[in-house]
Structure 1
């Protein structure tokens, strides 16, 4: 597995003293993280710790109660609307379900962001959609509908759509959810391939240990009890470090070691 970018390079994405809350209820506090170019950064933790909510804050869908989200040093939530919109153009998202339009073919689904955000013609959009589907291992499936392919293939199609605008950072929310072990491993392999060939930077929410240990280069563990980050770094290093918090160790071993 390739190493992430050297520490001297400015992070693609970072947070500083981030607090996320719903009204008076604090979900997490003092979250600090740095995601560098080429990272596969895992946000880990048990149910209810706020993983998906943190992802929404990082993606610009929910404002934090306190702290900063920085894209290349630019303070996202304190920037003007035009700057925020421009920064959001640099991200791609794969939701748990894949979120494909059932009435559209795979090529039409992947081409939709290109129709909305570029001035490309129909033929160019079709060509780019075919390219993105091929990158996701779906060459030849352009005219299939989501209902005609497997769950694993729908996740790949969703990933192809997330890649449509060549994002700087790609967010994945529980990408292995609902997949069998073989399909899950194929998706992990695809993530690694995209990182290695395109230099794609990933931020992934997951509780699947097999995927976490297979692909993560960096990450944080969110603890539901303390509502903060209790461990950070490569998950394998967390597991081998005697100083790792018991809650993180229990998560990474599922209580078996």
Structure 2
């Protein structure tokens, strides 16, 4: 396991294009990012500028969210509500992945029950991702009561329906806040996690600022064979 920095939350005090360089200055050479654009269909210049910010900083992008809608207004994905925007986001996200070697794309599924058309749309998107060696990640979230994926059980159940090109993102902060037995989840399926994020609770702060046994959980992940990235998705 190796550490990556989530530039969107750790460096939210500076513009998007300055964040990779800030991460590099702090000693990180691997980063992940939320969707870095205001809309689902940024123009070519915006995409070029984002890619340049990664390469110019000398960091590697390993994971990036797809467009989640108006997050500040409470949206958590548009796959079921605005399929055209989801398709635009998928195409651009995968193109950025090809350019930068980023193979994981976190995909929020929207609030409320996941409809059958949304599942089919997600499955098709996963197949498209798989064709270029990429994976769409399904992540349990906290603090959104009607978000349909709240536990690792929820995430693996959806992934089992989506098939190739899908995987589970286990943010240990979200799992703990939602009341999941994280030790049990790691013991049962930790080796199958595709990506891991951490922050402490309460407050989503730096590891060691709260009460979560993050060091124990990381040791347990290593013991069950998880060898992927661990991203610091925390408030600095």
Higher strand share: 1
TM-score, scaled relative to structure 2: 0.38
Larger Rg: 1
Higher relative contact order (CA 8 A, sep 6+): 1
TM-score, scaled relative to structure 1: 0.36
Higher helix share: 2
